[in-house]
Amino acid sequence: MSVQREHWGSRLGFILASAGSAVGLGNVWKFPYMAGTNGGGAFLVIYLGCVLFFGLALVMAELAIGRTTQSNPVGAFRKLAGRHWSVVGGLGVATAFIILSFYIVVAGWTLAYVVFMATDTFGGLGVEQNTTIFKDFVASPIQPLVYAAVFTVLMIGVVMGGVSSGIERASKWLMPLLFVLLIVLAVRSVTLPGAMEGVSFYLLPDWSQVTGATWGGAVSQAFFSLSLGMGAMLTYGSYMSEEQNLPRDASIVVGLDTLVALLAGLVILPAVFSAGLEPSAGPGLTFMTLPAVFAQMPAGAIFGIAFFVLLAIAALTSAVSLLEVVVSYFVDEKGFSRAGASIGASLVIFMIGVPVSLSQGLWSDITIGGKNFLDLADFMTSSVMMPIGGLFIALFAGWFMGPRAVEALKSHPAQSMPLAGLWLFILRFIAPLGIAWILLQGLLG
């Protein structure tokens, strides 16, 4: 293996690409409805706790494993520990397929909303009609799949372009723009009539709302939002150079991701209350609410178009990181060409995406354990496979690698690492016990 592995063009390139992976539909589509379904403020606090107490530590662990092995997830575990552990990497590759199967569907909804905003579909209609438009759209059999297909083609295009040309360039300018737009929207949203009720729902914890589901939801949301537990961060770490200050850059990425989620909540939930919607409306919440916010802004159509374009791009940079896990595995381990792996994997993903999309309409009656295909794909990955992956990654870095993990964290020339002991303690005890306990809660009911 004498081929030099491709690396990020610059430190900023890495941060933007990793933040691009983390910031996506998880922040803007999923976080607000998770907070809305799981009790608002209490969910917010528990979520922040999850990010702080093991999210950051796990991001660092994945990046360190990736950088020190310079490998895809399967190869990384095999290099460090042999065949048995490489199963953790394999689980990650499988997880990526399932996440992408619903990610492309929801990303397709985002693309459709660009068109809807541009063609004035919502006009001055109220939230009730907007909700109907959303439900009718996602329930139609063909249209959403066409948008999902368009998104899939865009995703293949970026991944085939390779790491530094495709992914980095896409992330560099557009993510800051999305951020600015979210701030503008938050200002509009909290000043809508009746919005304050939403602000207090979101920011003032009501602890009586906390159940096992709140904890489970917060953990799975943290995994999903931080792109954890399935090797995406590990893969991005494998393109990192030894000089990079890993803990610092990891903190920046985690901080940005959290900030965007917090802001998205502050856009959606006040608007939900202002419009008299139920915060627990579920996966359609963001799409049902936002058109009403744009309708009450000067030049709302322009803001609306810009917003959904940027959200689609945020989704693209996330999807790319998921596909990259799959592609780097098939290229490194199975000798596929980059193009062949990208296209082949995407075809499979799209085929799994078909029942996911149909589950919003034609096939909405088909449920497994009370969940339609979209909910099931989300649940299996965010609430089961990724936490299990994260559990093993924590155990692996904490116990199997131990002091070697700390070495992998350090940049060269040797960096001092004052909190290394705390990091190992989290990986050895807090993360595995916490995740295992919450997993069991979620699975037992």
Q: Supply the minimum distance, in Å, between the C-beta of residue 187 and ligand TRP.
A: 23
**Binding of residue 321 to ligand TRP (CB under 6 A):** yes
Place of tokens 């920011």: 203
Contact criterion met (CB below 8 Å) for 160 and 362: no
Per-residue x/- track, 372-411, ligand TRP (CB under 6 A): ----------------------------------------
Q: Supply the minimum distance, in Å, between the C-beta of residue 364 and ligand TRP.
A: 24
Stretch binding ligand TRP (CB under 6 A), from 128-136, 185-193, 238-246, 314-322: 314-322
Stretch binding ligand TRP (CB under 6 A), from 18-26, 110-118, 272-280, 424-432: 18-26
Q: Supply the minimum distance, in Å, between the C-beta of residue 128 and ligand TRP.
A: 28
**Binding of residue 21 to ligand TRP (CB under 6 A):** yes
Q: Is 276 left (phi over 0), alpha (psi -120 to 50) or beta?
A: left
**Binding of residue 151 to ligand TRP (CB under 6 A):** no
Nearest Cα to Cα of residue 292 among 281, 302, 300, 284: 300
Contact criterion met (CB below 8 Å) for 169 and 157: no
**Binding of residue 265 to ligand TRP (CB under 6 A):** no
**Binding of residue 232 to ligand TRP (CB under 6 A):** yes
Cα–Cα distances (Å) from 381 to 23, 91, 411, 434, in that order, read 18, 10, 32, 18
Cα–Cα distances (Å) from 74 to 18, 81, 127, 346, in that order, read 20, 11, 47, 20
Contact criterion met (CB below 8 Å) for 287 and 197: no
Nearest Cα to Cα of residue 134 among 16, 331, 289, 296: 289
Q: What residues have CB less than 8 Å from 247, skipping those under 6 apart? A: 60, 409, 417, 419
**Binding of residue 27 to ligand TRP (CB under 6 A):** yes
Q: Supply the minimum distance, in Å, between the C-beta of residue 403 and ligand TRP.
A: 28
Contact criterion met (CB below 8 Å) for 184 and 303: yes
Binding test (CB under 6 A) with ligand TRP, winner from 68, 225, 289, 328: 225
**Binding of residue 224 to ligand TRP (CB under 6 A):** yes
Stretch binding ligand TRP (CB under 6 A), from 46-54, 58-66, 206-214, 223-231: 223-231
**Binding of residue 22 to ligand TRP (CB under 6 A):** yes
Q: Look at the alpha carbons of 125, 130, 131, 135 in this order and tell me if their dihedral is positive or negative.
A: positive
**Binding of residue 220 to ligand TRP (CB under 6 A):** no
- Interatomic CA distance for residues 166 and 108, integer angstroms: 20
| Neighbour-count burial of 347, counting CB atoms closer than 10 A to its CB (0-12 exposed, 13-18 middle, 19+ buried) | exposed
- Interatomic CA distance for residues 20 and 205, integer angstroms: 30
Binding test (CB under 6 A) with ligand TRP, winner from 72, 227, 238, 346: 227
Q: How many residues bind ligand TRP (CB under 6 A)?
A: 15
- Interatomic CA distance for residues 292 and 77, integer angstroms: 48
Per-residue x/- track, 74-103, ligand TRP (CB under 6 A): -------------------------x----
**Binding of residue 318 to ligand TRP (CB under 6 A):** yes
**Binding of residue 258 to ligand TRP (CB under 6 A):** no
**Binding of residue 50 to ligand TRP (CB under 6 A):** no
- Interatomic CA distance for residues 281 and 38, integer angstroms: 11
Stretch binding ligand TRP (CB under 6 A), from 283-291, 316-324, 335-343, 408-416: 316-324
Q: What residues have CB less than 8 Å from 23, skipping those under 6 apart? A: 175, 178, 256, 257, 260, 314, 317, 318
Residue among 186 and 230 whose Cβ is closer to ligand TRP: 230
**Binding of residue 46 to ligand TRP (CB under 6 A):** no
Residue among 38 and 225 whose Cβ is closer to ligand TRP: 225
* Residues contributing to the site for ligand TRP (CB under 6 A): 21-22, 24-27, 99, 224-225, 227, 230, 232, 318, 321-322
